[in-house]
Structure 1
Amino acid sequence: MSIFAIVFAIFALLIALLYFLEQKNRRHFESKGIPYRGNGTYSFMFNFFTGIGFVDSFTLAYKQAKSLHPKVVGSTEFGITKLLVYDPEIIKSVLVKDFDHFVDRGIFYIPKNDYLFAKMLLTLRGDQWKLLRSKLSPTFTTGKIKRLFSLFDQSGKKLVKFVEDEMRTNNEMDLSSGYSKFAMDVIASAVCAMDSKAFEQREPSIFEKMGDKLRLNFGGKGMLNLLVIMLAPPLAEFLGLSVFNMEMQSFFSFAIKGSIHDRQKKNEKGNDFIQLMLEAREDKLKAEEGELSTFEKDAEIKSVGKASTGNMLDDTGIVANCVLFVLAGFDTTQSLMLYSAYALALNQDVQDKLRKEIETTLEDNGGEFSYESIHKMTYLDMVINETLRVYPPAGLLERTATQDYQVPGTDYLLKKGCAVQIPVAGLHQDAKYFPEPEKFDPERFSMENKAKINQYAYLPFGAGPRNCIGMRFALTEAKLAISHLVHNFRIEPSKKTLIPMKYTNENSLKPQGGMFLALNKIHH
């Protein structure tokens, strides 16, 4: 037998095996009255090779599944059974009412090299997550974020000067560069106790470069790397692969641990997220001396070995959660700011109305922004909410079943270890919940209209106990940046502005080739 014949036989056998597995999966779901949309692994690969963006693929899957008129649709992905949930009532059950069945996010295998990723609140599971969340939640209260507001405002003023300088030599700019510097400057000062030096040079600073290495890119080498980690963990360990760049992990570990040790040596306190976490760690040490709550005692007993809260908030744990802030703040918050500017450029009437509110607020506040004044602007809040609807930074939520779960309204029992996916991007574009979904209309979120919105069809920050812990931080940052920009510039489309918008294949919503806009200085 020739080599060609052997290869052909192996290939044919593989195809037959895959076909058999697909039919088995189809029968598994359809016997319970649930449509089967196929193996998500194939869709994932198809999108990669055809260049379909990550978030675009979620919306496409939503439309395809909705055409079947289901509440849920079955699929498999990388060997895991998954239910795509389209019904807001079931979504409410998963995220809130039956949260005890879905405490864990759908995080894939974490290689040993990703020592920071393993200690992030994002990836922790069960009691470890509950305990750390309870320790970190007080650091995200209104009072704590108000402590950091002056740092946000300083970065906002730097952003204005940067844009002014850029517009002196050109009538358009890629706003991605300005918002990248702003987001990193806020995170560096308010989170990591560092000077980003982002606005001291036109090119990206070292802090920006390291933050950029945090992005999960689903193209080329990044895709192949991720596939090996997801499909063959032992091989990934053997090859020394990691989800996140090792140089980036070393950079942040060295810089942040240095800051921690320096302030401890000098017995100084900072006004930043590191200080808030150090205070949370101090509270933990006091609790260990006899003040643990019943829940905390139980959680500590269940924790295995080094998995206690004390270890999760050791220096590496603090670094990990600072890096989580970089990951979320540099990527998703930047996305919100970019698309807010884009929407305002394409909707001048909205921009004019927002500018009027901002000017009135500044007049009433002595010409300066404050935490209170930023959050009192109702139209600004409406614009932000509509931006998050049309351009959700995260297009999909995923939760893993920690115990068998009878899916409400169906005969289907979701087994422990299987997952639920919630297609945020698709829900946000569904005319059933948002009439004329392609239209940018902040009035959807006016006081009288907001109550009509199904809150489980609008999920930019998730919902329930495992929603985004940094929501207040992100909204404050974004609102301030947009207010500074609209106060100082008229934002308009330029020759390079993407109309309609096209997205990259990154894990969050990013414009292809940058966000080019014309910003004309307003002289007050």
Structure 2
Amino acid sequence: MDRMFVFAKPSLMVADPELIKQILVKDFHSFRNRPITKDNHKITSKLMNYARNDDWKRVRAIVTPTFSSAKMRQLYAPINRCCNDFLKSLDKDVSNGVNEVELKRLMGAYTMDVMASCAFATKTNTYADPNNPFITKANNVFSSFIWKTVLQVTLPTFIVNTSIFRRIVMTNYSDVDFFIDFARSIIKKRRDNKEKHNDFLQLLMDVERPEGDIREASDANEAHHVNEGKDEMKAYAEAFTGVLEKKLTEDEILAQCFQFFGPGYESVAITLSYCTYELALNPGLQDRLYEETKEAFNEKGEMDYEVLSRLPFIHSLLSETLRNYPPTLRLQREAMGDVMLGDTGVKIEKGVSVEIPVYAIHHDPDYYPDPFTFNPDRFMPENRDHIQPYTYLPFGSGPRNCIGMRFALLEAKLVLANISQKFLFSRVTDTDVPVIFTNGRALCQAKRLVVGIQKR
């Protein structure tokens, strides 16, 4: 635990697992908000990430059923189509002599196609036409959206609120408006023509908050977290009591659709890049992935959603990737009132920001022996009980965890399973070992991730 100031704002760094549980779960009612982020745009100001207090509670309660296991099954087919398009394009490239790939560009093309299909109901043709307006504008907006948000959180309010800051640093709102107008036109067309589609936009249009527990029973069977016990269930139930509204406004639908695009595009692309990089460096792991997924495909060369969700090694492989290269380096919460922190005698005063250093915790040898060694066996079913709760936080924890984690893992697992059957990755001269990271980003970004590729 360490006190610090970020641009004159008081902040407390907390890395003890029990204290983290207190902040994220037991005393969630006192740490419900993230630090204030200013955004004057009519739509993006309604992003769930920016929402606070009862606004966040209402939107999260309504949107949560959109990310249930049942809804993920509905999105499986469009993701699978994007995966097949990706494999065809990659097969063509390798057949034409490509023997090295830069993984961030490669996986970014796949996740861009998935999010365009699943969030905005459009095909980007990203492999044949990387310069089409949808792709270039998406790169302008979403590849920089997260680090700009960090600036908003850390810089003093008097700087963030200046027109010069917004004009020079913040997202180009003309590009934002392109996506907002695009999605609004789709909503109008569907309502006018009474059309239905399998995508996020449709799910958000149709979602209606149920009575009682907003999660489905089937969700409990997908153990994406090691932090799921009675305390977590209680905190979740208490966090969303008293919400009466059942539908989102059109502007709120547009905002959430916009928000989901960013992590589903950039964060998943980064995770897939690191995972494939580690497979290239560890041929034995690549063989294990191939053997596990080979048995999971049916005679038509297809894999069912339920089968994919139950494969232990591919899940462990992604879990270790997310431990070693967490998408978010830290979590932030803001105290809504004065709170005593466990039995430390430390009082967190109202308005103080609490920082949880995810990357540091994930690389603490007390929790993960040889923390910089890539070892998926840490997360195999027989070993998961050895992981101390609240030392694995790639998606956060508690009621304000990452709402899209099921989708992100589905998007990643599906392409890894398929690509493992068709291609081999290897270390080449231009492969950086160890990874050379880019400084000053909110995401764990490498400067480049180059590996060799060949057909099986």
TM over 0.5: yes
Deviation at 1:239, TM superposition (A): 6.2
Deviation at 1:215, TM superposition (A): 2.7
Partner of 2:170: 243
Inter-partner Cα distance in structure 2 for 1:125 and 1:152? 32
Task: Give me the TM-score of the superposition, normalised by structure 2.
Answer: 0.87
CA contact (8 A) 1:217 1:507 kept: no
2:162 partner SS: helix
CA contact (8 A) 1:406 1:414 kept: yes
Confirm whether residue 84 of structure 1 aligns to residue 13 of structure 2: yes
Partner of 2:106: 178
CA contact (8 A) 1:198 1:207 kept: no
CA contact (8 A) 1:78 1:230 kept: no
Relative to structure 1, is the Cα distance of residues 231 and 440 closer, same or farther in structure 2, using a 3 angstrom cutoff?
farther
Partner of 1:75: 4
2:426 partner SS: strand
Confirm whether residue 216 of structure 1 aligns to residue 139 of structure 2: no
Deviation at 1:502, TM superposition (A): 1.2
Relative to structure 1, is the Cα distance of residues 280 and 315 closer, same or farther in structure 2, using a 3 angstrom cutoff?
same
Deviation at 1:263, TM superposition (A): 0.5
CA contact (8 A) 1:175 1:516 kept: yes
Confirm whether residue 390 of structure 1 aligns to residue 317 of structure 2: no
How do residues 134-213 of structure 1 correspond to structure 2 at under 5 angstroms? 134-167=61-94, 168-201=96-129, 203-213=130-140
Residue deviations 1:145-185, cap 9 Å, x none?
Answer: 10110111111111112222222233101122221121111
How do residues 455-466 of structure 1 correspond to structure 2 at under 5 angstroms? 455-466=389-400
For 1:232, which of 154, 159, 182 is the aligned residue?
159
1:436 partner SS: coil
Aligned amino acid, residue 52 of structure 2: R
Partner of 2:179: 252
Partner of 1:415: 349
Inter-partner Cα distance in structure 2 for 1:283 and 1:192? 25
Partner of 1:3: none
Partner of 2:407: 473
Partner of 2:24: 95
Partner of 1:44: none
Inter-partner Cα distance in structure 1 for 2:378 and 2:283? 17
Deviation at 1:495, TM superposition (A): 2.1
Confirm whether residue 405 of structure 1 aligns to residue 405 of structure 2: no
CA contact (8 A) 2:152 2:160 kept: no
Confirm whether residue 333 of structure 1 aligns to residue 260 of structure 2: no
Inter-partner Cα distance in structure 1 for 2:323 and 2:399? 21
Deviation at 1:297, TM superposition (A): 9.9
CA contact (8 A) 1:159 1:179 kept: no
Residue deviations 1:466-505, cap 9 Å, x none?
Answer: 0000010000000011112111100112222111101223
Relative to structure 1, is the Cα distance of residues 197 and 472 closer, same or farther in structure 2, using a 3 angstrom cutoff?
same
Deviation at 1:315, TM superposition (A): 2.4
Residue deviations 1:334-357, cap 9 Å, x none?
Answer: 111111101101111111011111
Specify every segment of 5 or more residues in structure 2 that has no aligned partner in the other structure, as ranges. 212-237
| Number of residues of Structure 1 aligned to a counterpart in Structure 2 | 427
Inter-partner Cα distance in structure 2 for 1:314 and 1:77? 36
Relative to structure 1, is the Cα distance of residues 457 and 235 closer, same or farther in structure 2, using a 3 angstrom cutoff?
same
Relative to structure 1, is the Cα distance of residues 153 and 258 closer, same or farther in structure 2, using a 3 angstrom cutoff?
same
1:83 partner SS: strand
Deviation at 1:281, TM superposition (A): 5.9
Larger-gyration structure (1/2): 1
Deviation at 1:206, TM superposition (A): 2.5
1:173 partner SS: strand
1:458 partner SS: coil
Deviation at 1:96, TM superposition (A): 0.6
How do residues 375-386 of structure 1 correspond to structure 2 at under 5 angstroms? 375-386=309-320
Relative to structure 1, is the Cα distance of residues 295 and 340 closer, same or farther in structure 2, using a 3 angstrom cutoff?
closer
Partner of 1:319: 254
Higher percent of residues as helix: 1
1:166 partner SS: helix
Confirm whether residue 104 of structure 1 aligns to residue 33 of structure 2: yes
Specify every segment of 5 or more residues in structure 1 that has no aligned partner in the other structure, as ranges. 1-71, 285-293, 301-307
* Identical counterparts, % of pairs: 30
Task: Give me the TM-score of the superposition, normalised by structure 1.
Answer: 0.76
Relative to structure 1, is the Cα distance of residues 280 and 241 closer, same or farther in structure 2, using a 3 angstrom cutoff?
farther
Relative to structure 1, is the Cα distance of residues 232 and 78 closer, same or farther in structure 2, using a 3 angstrom cutoff?
same
